[in-house]
Structures are given as structure tokens and as C-alpha cells.
Amino acid sequence: MADPVSWLLIEAGWKVVGSDGSVLGKIHEVVGDMGTDIFNGLAVSPGLLRSSRYVPAERVGRIVEGCVELDLDEETFGRLDEHGEAPTSAEIRSDTTDIEPERP
């Protein structure tokens, strides 16, 4: 069996399998921030003409080159939410702060 690899190496097209050994689909997108090493989850495409499902990071088990194993079975995977657009970042405006400037 292959050695585990980091989530940072996951690529679109890798196979996704469930805890029951069923092939659930292929990686469509990795959701996270590589710069800060924060892994949010995966968008998994179960096949042609079917919407990708969002799999939260905590449901991802073993990751090996070319394959990601989940800790859920095929039935549970089918009940996951569809993967939508990534949420936009919060906008922080400088005019809403109450911090007084430093005094000499």
C-alpha cells in the first residue's frame, strides 16, 4: 500500500473512495488555503451530469497518491450538499474601527 501524502498534493481527477470501498467519484476541486495550510474540504464529482458534492475536511481519511479515502459510505455521500461557489472573504473596512491613533 502507498504511503500517505499531504492534502496539498491532491489534484483534480484523483479517485475518491468511501469507507465501504465504493468508488464515489473524482476530485473536482480542493477547498482550502495553501498559503496558510488550512484544508477546508473537497468538491467531489460523482459523474457526468451530476453536481459535485462538498466533503468537509473532517470526513477525509487516508490520502495516497491518486486516491482519497473518506470515512463515509456511498449512501451518506449521496446525502451531502452540492458544492457551490466558495464564499467571498469578509471585507474589513478601516472606517469602522474604534482604535485611536498612538500619541507621541
- Per DSSP bridges, beta strands 67-70 and 38-45 are unpaired
Q: What whole-number distance in Å separates Cα of residue 75 and Cα of residue 59?
A: 14
Give the pairing type, strands 67-70 and 15-17: parallel
Band (pLDDT 50/70/90 cuts) for residue 85 is low
Domain formed by 12-72, architecture: Roll (2.30)
pLDDT beyond 90 at 102: no
- CA angle centred on 63, ends 22 and 39, rounded to 5°: 115
| Cα dihedral 33/36/39/44 (nearest 10) | 20
Q: Does the pLDDT value for residue 80 go beyond 80?
A: yes
Q: What integer pLDDT is reported at residue 103 of this predicted model?
A: 59
What does the pLDDT read at residue 42? Answer: 95
pLDDT at 31 over 80: yes
Q: Which of 16-20, 26-30, 70-74, 77-81 shows the lowest mean pLDDT across its residues?
A: 77-81
